[in-house]
């Protein structure tokens, strides 16, 4: 089975994605059942160690490219992550970065901030730029999530401000395949 398909199935099987923003989060996520980790911190000197810690715990490591210090928003940054880490995938708000990630065999997540009706139209019009999944933020808007899910042909993840069981159920009931959260209490729901 193709690696990207395996990751997709893992996300669908364990729909709470642990997002970590520091080393303490990495330490705590390794003890949890969830199998997917969004890495939301690091720099070019530490990202390999962060990915290694997540992978050593048997988790899928997906690096948020836009949040790695020292990397530019250019496609060559994806080559750096491919060459210097064992990451399974990438997240970015930049379509060019997502495109390069797919070319290099990464699982890709295109992140959108849905702040108003123009941003919502933009999500639908861009149709995920061939990403494996789309993540919309904030993830606590079931009505908006439903619209995005109905308009796109790729699976949707809800992230941002998801903090409790009600938020998780609301997002999943609206059609999202998963949620991502840094809230450690929500990791175990």
The alpha carbons of the chain give a radius of gyration, in whole angstroms, of 15
To the question of domain 3-179 being in CATH 3.20.20.70, the answer is: yes
Contacts by residues 107-111 (CB-CB < 8 Å, ≥ 24 positions apart): 107/3, 107/4, 107/7, 107/8, 107/60, 107/62, 107/132, 108/132, 108/133, 109/38, 109/62, 109/133, 109/134, 109/135, 109/157, 110/134, 110/135, 111/64, 111/66, 111/135, 111/136, 111/137, 111/159
pLDDT at 62 over 80: yes
* Per-domain residue ranges of the chain: 3-179
Q: Give the burial class of 32: count Cβ atoms within 10 A of its Cβ; 0-12 exposed, 13-18 middle, 19 or more buried.
A: middle
Give me the residue label for tokens 């890709």: 108
pLDDT band at 128 (very low <50, low <70, confident <90, very high): low
- The predicted model gives 56-63 an average pLDDT of 98
Task: Return the ∠ at Cα 127 (arms to 70 and 174), rounded to 5°.
Answer: 100
How does the average pLDDT of the chain come out, rounded? 95
Task: Choose the weakest-confidence range: 5-9, 54-58, 154-158, 185-189.
Answer: 185-189
The conformational region for residue 113 under phi > 0 = left, psi -120 to 50 = alpha, else beta, is beta
Q: Using the Cα atoms of residue 91, residue 94, residue 99 and residue 100 in order, give the sign of their dihedral.
A: negative
Q: Please give the structure tokens belonging to residue 9.
A: 């199935």
* Whole-structure pTM value: 0.96
| pLDDT level of residue 1 (50, 70, 90 thresholds) | low
């Amino acid at each position: 089975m193709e690696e990207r398909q395996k990751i997709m199935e893992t996300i669908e099987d364990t729909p709470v994605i642990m997002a970590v923003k520091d080393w303490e989060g990495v330490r705590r996520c390794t003890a949890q059942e969830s199998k997917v980790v969004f890495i939301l911190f690091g720099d070019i000197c530490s990202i390999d160690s962060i990915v290694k810690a997540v992978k050593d715990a048997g988790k899928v490591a997906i690096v948020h490219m836009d949040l790695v210090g020292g990397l530019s928003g250019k496609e060559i940054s994806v080559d750096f992550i491919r060459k210097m880490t064992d990451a399974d995938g990438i997240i970015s708000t930049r379509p060019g970065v997502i495109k390069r990630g797919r070319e290099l065999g990464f699982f890709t997540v295109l992140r959108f901030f849905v702040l108003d009706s123009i941003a919502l139209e933009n999500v639908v019009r861009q149709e995920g730029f061939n990403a494996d999944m789309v993540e919309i933020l904030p993830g606590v808007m079931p009505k908006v999530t439903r619209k995005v899910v109905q308009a796109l042909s790729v699976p949707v993840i809800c992230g941002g401000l998801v903090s409790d069981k009600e938020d998780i159920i609301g997002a999943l009931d609206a059609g999202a395949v998963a949620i991502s959260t840094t809230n450690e209490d929500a990791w175990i729901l």
